[in-house]
Structure 1
């Protein structure tokens, strides 16, 4: 995919951060999910668990949201972008996964730091989660439903219980 175009059918998101819900956790807190970063050709890399960064097989299913980034904000272009993703993936392939402190969001932040995206370092998991929540696009209506339907169903159950019990 040299053209850099997003292809939802093939799950290719060049120069994007991608996100998918985490079962149970996202159902109660819909802003928390699993994150990955894509190469210039759109292949997803995600820190999927202890000592494992998956390639093109996101740990919790296909992305439901994506946040397009500007490859022109990386000095060195596509090569520097891909090197940042590769170096972060190599590093996280040697790390133990920690749900709260060193996780998939940290992997993405490290990749952005290594490529000095927007000339910045210091990317972090909280900032990335907030930016994904604010600027992420749904892959389609199905992605929206997969993200929000469980949360809305749980809210409806609580409302019914509160009103009728």
Structure 2
């Protein structure tokens, strides 16, 4: 169906699709507060790991390490295990890609169907030309019977 239907240029119709909401300032303030807390937490965790990996030993990360009974070697060991797992998963995914390309080939053979024209639909011989015109020009169509299943030949 390559012919577009008529659009209503009524302002009220266009305004009915716009979502309107009234946000309260205190709710937005709570959202900003929680977002800020999460950002500070993430930055603190990153700083904690950087301090342990490079053995900077600043005061605040050292306080966390003492309270959690950890050393820089523990954190570095954890980080090494995480890196090994990340590299292992990455290599497994690369092998999986190679396997799928060998088994199924490249995906260049796939192509999307072309634009359906009026002639294509008429060649199917499922609807009449007058029903096609009704479908193209009307915004809302109500059928008493199914025009494909209950057509009269």
TM over 0.5: no
TM-score (norm 1): 0.21
Asked which structure has the greater CA Rg, the reply is 2
Q: Which has the higher helix share?
A: 2
Which of the pair has the greater relative contact order for Cα pairs under 8 Å at 6+ separation? 2
